[in-house]
Amino acid sequence: MEEIKLKITNSLKHIAEPKTTEHINRFSNNEKQKIAGASKDFESLLTGMMLKSMTSSIGGFFGEDSYGGDYFDSIFTMELASQISKGSKLGLAEQIYQKVTGEKWDDSLIAPDKKFNVEFPLRKKETNGINTENSTPDSATITPSQSSLRRMGKYEPIINKFSENFNVDKNLIRSIILAESAAKPDAVSKASAKGLMQLMDGTAKEMGVKNSFNPAENIYGGTKYFAQLLRQYSGDVRLSLAAYNAGPGNVEKYNGIPPFKETENYVNRVLGYYKYFNG
């Protein structure tokens, strides 16, 4: 029998190529926009972490010991990272997008005026029986400076004691101390509020504090006063913090957190520290 020979020009051609899944119709345009936005958000977040690491040796953009510097440093770093990601081609977002969709990056997916900031949705949260439901967005986590944490470390036994005495979360006391004075016992504000928890003379007297520059007395008075505010506002931390900063009269006047930038920043700053201490 005559041998039949097959003419094969490409020895691998008879091996079928694996079928590939077309990505073109896997996602709708709306889904692609969301993926592109999430990719940019992630790139912005990573850029922010890089900026924070680069400035850590000098205590951030505003210096380690600046009053409220760690709060404004977090906000500034977030916004700067957002603008860097928005205005440059780092390539990370594009790679993520291509990996997920199988398509090349398309700038038209991103609105020109979109800001890639972290959003904090409205929500109700219960923490140790404390209600933080309110009409304002949640707060970003704020990492305190190492120097302020070292200073506050001296007062931990006092904080723990009055936390138990007045049934106030010790992390809230810590957060108020950081926001009020950066844990400096000799701090004095322009309004003459004094000490770690920045007691006004009238409030100090009402709480039985004789020397506001004495850390134990100051923390005693500040915690006692805040415990009263928590009872007054049925455990609503935001309203209690607003009253601590702007006075109960203003909270009653505006039927909520007063529309003062200082007070709004203060409430978010305290809760930002609080989120840090709660991990």
Q: What residues act catalytically?
A: 180
In total, the chain counts a number of residues equal to 279
Q: Which residues contact 98 (CB under 8 A, 6 or more apart)?
A: 104, 105
The CA-based angle 185-186-187, given to 5 degrees, is 95
Return the SS3 of 73. Answer: helix
Q: What b/e sequence results for 69-82 when a residue is b if at least 16 CB atoms lie within 10 Å of its CB, and e otherwise?
A: bbbbbbbbbbeebb
Residue 140 has which token pair? Answer: 């970003």
Instruction: Give the relative orientation of helices 92-101 and 29-55 as an angle to the nearest 10 degrees.
Output: 150
Instruction: Give the relative orientation of helices 215-232 and 156-166 as an angle to the nearest 10 degrees.
Output: 30
Report how far residue 10's alpha carbon sits from residue 99's, in angstroms, rounded to the nearest whole number.
Answer: 32
In degrees rounded to 5, what are phi and psi of residue 32? -65, -40
Residue pair 238/267 in contact (Cβ under 8 Å)? The answer is yes
Closest CA to 48 of 117, 104, 105: 117
Q: Which residues contact 136 (CB under 8 A, 6 or more apart)?
A: 238, 257, 264, 267, 268
Report how far residue 141's alpha carbon sits from residue 150's, in angstroms, rounded to the nearest whole number.
Answer: 19
